[in-house]
Structure 1
Amino acid sequence: MKTKISLVFKTFFVCCLLATFTTNAQTKTLENQTSSYIPTDQLPTSPEVKIGKLSNGLTYYIQNNGKPEDKVELRLAINAGSILETEDQRGLAHFMEHMNFNGTTNFKKNELVDYLQGIGIEFGADLNAYTSFDQTVYILPIPSDDPKKLDKGFQILHDWAGNALLTEEDIDEERGVVIEEYRTRLGAATRMQSKYLDKIAYKSKYADRLPIGTKENLETFKYESLRNFQKDWYRPNLMAVIAVGDLDVETLEKKIKDNFSDLKNPKNPKPREEFGSENHEETFIAIEWDEEATGSQVQIYYKDKGERKKTKTISDYRDNMVEGLFDQMINNRLSEYSNKPNPPFIYGFSYKGGIIGNKDAYQSFAQTNDTGQLEALKTLLEENERVKRYGFKASELKRAKKDFLARLERQFKNKDKQESGRIVGRYIQNFLQESPIPGIEWTYNFAQTELPKITLDEVNALINKFLHNDNRLVILTGPKKEGLKKVTEQEVIDLLKSVEKAEIKDYEDEAVREHLMPIKPKKGSIIKKEVSNEGQINETTTLTLSNGAKVIYKKTDFKNDEILFEAYSYGGTSLYSDEVLKETANANRGLFEAGIDGLTKNDLNKLMSGIIASVSPFIGNLSEGMRGAASPKDFETMFQMIHLYFTKLDKDPEAFASYISKQKAFLGNILSNPNISFSIALNEFTNEGNPRYTGFPTEVDLDKANYDLAYEKYKERFANAGDFNFYFVGNINEDKIAELAETYIASLPGNSEREMYKTTTFRPKSGAHEFIYYKGTEPKSQVNLTYSGEAKYNVNDARAMNVLGEILSIKLIEKLREEEGGVYGAGARGSISKLPYGRFNFSISFPCAPENAEKLSQASIAELEKIIKDGPTETDLNKVKKALLLSRKDDLEQNRFWLSTIKGADYNQSDINNVINYERNINALTTKDIHDVAKKYLTGGYIKAILLPEE
């Protein structure tokens, strides 16, 4: 369970509220819809979905979808969130969401989670909910091949719609859990946000209605306040039930009618008001800094003066396409800055989208170094101004159209292979935001027809609507530390004025060659073809090439437009001396900031317009290799990239210097975050005495990174393609892959020499140790309890250790969350690894209040000790078994799973047939197996590591 605001803090822009206040993609995303092109101005609705409304006003959406098999994704969407709270209800929209898991008419406290776990539905991973300003959504995947389970699923949804018991005892017990969730939000981002939120949400109720609420109200609210919120807003005319999955529409519709027709609206319902923010003539400027801020950001909002325009007609939809092309082109330009020497920011982007309620804005964002905020702001302003004065180039629009259509084509080709969990979201947003759902077939056909007609003048005209000096907001956030001068409001004002008058040159769109590899290499040959496990689900084909390389592939039909790729060779940095390792550790990733075969990264981005193919090399501790993905139509391009990364990675000191500059900016203040600092310090503690431990890089370390040496070692690591295995999984044409393998892989330099990684004699700390770390000002702690050490690898023990972690996670939630009310979340993980040497690791972790850290640590160990002493219960073991088997059923239809499995079998030198025997092996696990592994590995003491706030 989570508040929607929490999703924001988990995205890559911690301080950026863009995703919190809106779903821009909801009103303009063209990738997620479906139907055939109708030449009328009325926007069609996808024929794949059945939409209806019950007499009580409840709306429903139903779609039959067979991927994954035997599962239906159920959602209950409520058009009510924290914006509707009265002053005495602050935080109660979200609290109400919690209470639906803590006692309803048909499921008393804890019975709901217990029942769902019993049929394999995991709490958190599968079963969940979220609350935002304007909506609350409950999430429930349920098996569709068992009528009783399906009926229970709809009964649960019905209970959520209005049958929460809300007893005083249950409410009081849940206060602690929600306060712990509130505690997880505390930190620099929240503190800074609180100081400028009222400028984003100017004269708006949104500024005072963050979904998590206030600690004071969560602790003291009256029971009746919560009950009133439920009574007022949990009503059928504000609800939608969405059911998408492997079941016929008629059955699902009957279930909805049977279960929800009895819901009643209040006799005198409160009006569901819409809220917005007011316009302001001046430019607002907010400059905030904090001792624990991990980075510096710049945000610019050009707020629309009117309400957001809803997409109702084909003309509206076409307008969205034009905006999408604008976004693509401006961001193509901004991304070029990141790849230049001395970049003004780590990354930057702009787009037109929502910010709050029904308000849109043109927004620009950048993350930069501590002293670079004004330079980053200047760059964003100048690029907007450059477009305003000169517009985009025809060549830019041509590339943007290619990319736009390529993405749509991929989705169109995969339209019959979409997972139900990816489909339900569009119907939720259609109900809550009135976002369009014409369907991918209609969208793709429409784009093919209309994209060529969109002119450069149309796109260029948008900037004049976007930019204006009133209703504008500039936000700068960053770290507060000694020696750093805070940017002043006057400096920002002066910069805004100077850019308007500055001499700005037009953008030069430098031409690049048309082909990645104009001349193909001389072919090698396939000397052997072998089919393994023929006719079984783990069937693979291996091509042994003339240079010694092996190409292993699995043809699947899980996605029509997807091929995934990995390659590896043993060795990696384990073969480096201690000195070479330390000189190159901070340089290896920077190697790939250079281009290939004379093409810079910016050149590559231009050349690859409309092409869906990617390859990323890596050098790891034990191996070197590559990863990638491609559309079948661009399969050859991926092979060309593989060949070029082996033979023609450019050496570009300027690109490397740009990488180091960005790393300094990104990592410079990351230790200010207490949790990150704690994690790094704990790693240093456990690696004390390790001569090969490189740790967290300082600015000095980054300056010492030896690019020349790293480049030479890269060439050495990739000199012998014959030592590599190349894996491909997806919609593969077998004749095509053979031809491409001969052309681009067999032609690489290679021989019969084989390398193996080296294992050092150092072993991290294990056994009984205590590590207490003080960092941060907020009253929040983190607890990590770890058992680890050497162990002879045993596949059965490894399986049991993993299951033990899952079982203990269930017990920790029951004890620490439901009984103690001391945590929001807690978990345990267990593993036994084979490489580079046999080793076990079992960890328990959770955040909590500092005053509870020791007590909850002991409670956690006590739960584990019960298992060590008596073993787990059959009930808990069966819960985990069912969850694992349900998850595996979905995995078996995923290319990513098979790529990992096939490559992993070779890499870890394990039996590929384990995948066939998985169900049998899981079902064969007994409580004795879990008991034995707990006694065998978890009695030698543990490392207790606790983060506490500074005293």
Structure 2
Amino acid sequence: MSVSISAHNSIAFNDVSEKNGSIITKEIASSTVDVPVDNFQAPTRLVHKRPQSGSVKKRLRSISFGTTEWTLSNDVVVVLRPTDYKDNEIVFEASSLGGYSKVSLGDLPSAYALNEIMKTNGRSDLSYANLQQILGGKTAKVEASLDEQTENLSGRSSIQDFETMLQLIYLNFQKPHEDADAFDTSMQRLRNEASSRASNQQKVFADSLLMKWTSYDKRTTLLNEEMLNNVNYNKVLDIFNKRFSSANDFVFVFTGNIDPEDAATEKLICTWLGSLPKGKAEEYSKQGNDHPKGPYTSRFVTNVGMDISTNTIRYYAPMEYSWTNLINMHIIEYIAKYRIMEKAKGASPLEVKTWISKYPTEEGVLSIQFNCNPKAREAVVRLVKEEVQRLVKEGASSEDFIKAKESMFDQFDKDVQDNGYWASSLVRYYMYGRDYINEYRDWIDYITLESIRETLDKLVASENVFEVSMQKER
């Protein structure tokens, strides 16, 4: 006799919107884990013995954020931000610097497979099936992940299941459960995804784009059979254990229907977070992934997919990770999309993105990606480049400038009514010093048409123009 536990899992490697070699999340499929239950007594508790509770040794309040900050006796920092956006929701996020940058070259395949494998891997002495059984009927979840720069935890719960969420956080800092069968199931999902990527036109382009963008850096990892053959389960567990071995360099943020003045809430947090292990704080370790310098053009063909041309053009230059530059780049994204959509109508679908990376180096990027008719590729690419040059020379119109700012204000007004936005914004503030709550509107108002033109000019004047095109082999 067996019972089926179904869970929705996700992974992605090097998707089209890839920025700097890290992986982003994209759905694969649901999976089923069969668990024998003959003579089986299911555990009923996540943690058998309550840990020794810590205490709050320092309290701060921020009027501008409306937050309460506690430093616990183990130096864990907890930030609480009460909201009334949803009656029965508490959202949680925590991050710490490190991520894949702390993983050796030989262990990268295991590290890049970790997010998917740990989705259905147990914690402590509980299997994944045990966890699903205990959590049945509860509204609480916590997910752990790594990316290029950080290790992360995120989750949410109802008010009544808040302690359950705290216990799940606690379990992520304990030794991970060993389950060879669950590992084999995860690896089969990854092999299926790797196989499907080889016949997916956009993913073939994404993989090639990433390799060229990172100058074929030896740390750039693609999801394929070669990579999967080098995944080692013991290494996966070891990497996870190391990245979540100490909690005092994480910032734990809770937003939603939570009361910092409630003694019971404080007691729960001191019990489950105040007892987490303390260790040496770490920083991001600078790795490679340098982009090509100067003009770079690559055109190649594929034998899969439709008869279309897929193209990416990127302008990039060293750029300080500052508020002025961040907002300038965001407005450039809006305006460039307006202008290119109007002038280069053959570029469809069109995706325009800007970003400023902080690691491994501070760099600004304007990325333009589109599909077009292969016969019209040269003409469409020329129109896109001409429009970028025109923006540098003539600047944006007042109409486009106002429209871009209004769009940003509208989106911000929606975002600040969301607990998840508050949680992620507060984590970014504590990690990088950027206030996306109180300063965002002021900085948008501060930006001028001239500052936008100057920022775009920096990108184009660097002469770093990265152009990659792919089309179906004839």
How much has 1:628 moved relative to structure 2? Answer: 0.8
Identity of aligned residues (%): 26
Which residue does 2:217 correspond to in 1? 690
2:51 to 521, 534, 547: 521
Alignment of 1:297-336 (within 5 A): 333=4, 335=6
How much has 1:676 moved relative to structure 2? Answer: 0.8
Q: Distance in 2 between matches of 1:717 and 1:918?
A: 32
Check conservation: 2:81, 2:255, Cα contact below 8 A. Answer: yes
Alignment of 1:246-395 (within 5 A): 333=4, 335=6
Consecutive unaligned residues of structure 2, counting only runs of 5 or more, are 12-27
Secondary structure at the aligned position of 1:721 is classed as coil
**Greater RCO between the two (CA within 8 Å, min separation 6)?**
2
Q: Distance in 2 between matches of 1:526 and 1:555?
A: 18
How much has 1:809 moved relative to structure 2? Answer: 0.5
Check conservation: 1:780, 1:949, Cα contact below 8 A. Answer: yes
Secondary structure at the aligned position of 1:898 is classed as helix
Paired AA for residue 367 in structure 2: S
2:456 to 906, 916, 934: 934
Check conservation: 1:813, 1:825, Cα contact below 8 A. Answer: no
1:658 aligned onto 2:181: no
Secondary structure at the aligned position of 2:113 is classed as coil
Q: Distance in 1 between matches of 2:76 and 2:282?
A: 13
1:870 aligned onto 2:402: no
Alignment of 1:487-506 (within 5 A): none
1:890 to 394, 400, 414: 414
Which residue does 1:573 correspond to in 2? 100
CA displacement 1:695-722 (0-9 Å, x = unmatched): x132232122122123223222222222
Paired AA for residue 730 in structure 1: G
Which residue does 1:834 correspond to in 2? 358
Q: Distance in 1 between matches of 2:278 and 2:351?
A: 46
Give 1 or 2: higher helix fraction. Answer: 1
1:844 aligned onto 2:371: no
1:786 aligned onto 2:314: yes
Paired AA for residue 835 in structure 1: Y
CA displacement 1:485-530 (0-9 Å, x = unmatched): xxxxxxxxxxxxxxxxxxxxx9979552222224211111111111
CA displacement 1:888-929 (0-9 Å, x = unmatched): 11111111111111101122233x3x5323223212322111
Which residue does 2:468 correspond to in 1? 945
Check conservation: 1:831, 1:841, Cα contact below 8 A. Answer: yes
Q: Distance in 2 between matches of 1:756 and 1:667?
A: 32
Q: Distance in 2 between matches of 1:653 and 1:766?
A: 45
How much has 1:873 moved relative to structure 2? Answer: 0.6
Question: Residues 575 and 519 from structure 1, CA distance in 2 versus in 1: closer, same or farther, beyond 3 angstroms?
Answer: same
Give 1 or 2: higher strand fraction. Answer: 2
Paired AA for residue 876 in structure 1: D
Paired AA for residue 674 in structure 1: Q
Q: Distance in 2 between matches of 1:793 and 1:923?
A: 19
Q: Distance in 2 between matches of 1:756 and 1:788?
A: 25
Alignment of 1:631-670 (within 5 A): 631-670=158-197
Give the TM-score of the pair, scaled to structure 2. Answer: 0.88
Paired AA for residue 265 in structure 2: I
Which residue does 2:16 correspond to in 1? none
Which residue does 1:176 correspond to in 2? none
Question: Residues 641 and 950 from structure 1, CA distance in 2 versus in 1: closer, same or farther, beyond 3 angstroms?
Answer: same
Question: Residues 825 and 588 from structure 1, CA distance in 2 versus in 1: closer, same or farther, beyond 3 angstroms?
Answer: closer
How much has 1:582 moved relative to structure 2? Answer: 4.6
Which residue does 1:903 correspond to in 2? 427
How much has 1:824 moved relative to structure 2? Answer: 4.1
Question: Residues 571 and 739 from structure 1, CA distance in 2 versus in 1: closer, same or farther, beyond 3 angstroms?
Answer: same
Paired AA for residue 718 in structure 1: F
Alignment of 1:462-501 (within 5 A): none
1:755 aligned onto 2:282: yes
Q: Distance in 2 between matches of 1:761 and 1:605?
A: 40
Alignment of 1:133-282 (within 5 A): none
2:443 to 902, 916, 921: 921
Which residue does 2:21 correspond to in 1? none
How much has 1:787 moved relative to structure 2? Answer: 1.2
How much has 1:725 moved relative to structure 2? Answer: 1.4
Which residue does 1:706 correspond to in 2? 232
CA displacement 1:827-873 (0-9 Å, x = unmatched): 32222232332011101112221111111111111111111111011
How much has 1:728 moved relative to structure 2? Answer: 0.9
Q: Distance in 2 between matches of 1:719 and 1:877?
A: 47
Check conservation: 2:100, 2:111, Cα contact below 8 A. Answer: no
Paired AA for residue 335 in structure 1: S
Paired AA for residue 605 in structure 1: Q
Aligned residues: 450
Check conservation: 1:613, 1:630, Cα contact below 8 A. Answer: yes
Secondary structure at the aligned position of 1:792 is classed as coil
Question: Residues 631 and 882 from structure 1, CA distance in 2 versus in 1: closer, same or farther, beyond 3 angstroms?
Answer: same
Give the TM-score of the pair, scaled to structure 1. Answer: 0.45
Check conservation: 1:682, 1:771, Cα contact below 8 A. Answer: no
- Answer with 763-772 or 578-587: which moved more: 578-587
Question: Residues 798 and 584 from structure 1, CA distance in 2 versus in 1: closer, same or farther, beyond 3 angstroms?
Answer: closer
Which residue does 1:601 correspond to in 2? 128
How much has 1:589 moved relative to structure 2? Answer: 3.6
2:297 to 743, 760, 770: 770
CA displacement 1:742-783 (0-9 Å, x = unmatched): 1001111214x3211111255122431112121235222222
Q: Distance in 2 between matches of 1:856 and 1:638?
A: 51
CA displacement 1:524-559 (0-9 Å, x = unmatched): 111111112x1x3x2211110111111112111111
Secondary structure at the aligned position of 2:51 is classed as coil
1:881 to 398, 405, 408: 405
Question: Residues 556 and 909 from structure 1, CA distance in 2 versus in 1: closer, same or farther, beyond 3 angstroms?
Answer: same
Point out 4+ residue stretches in structure 1 off by more than 4 angstroms.
506-511
Paired AA for residue 277 in structure 2: P
Paired AA for residue 731 in structure 1: N
Paired AA for residue 195 in structure 2: G
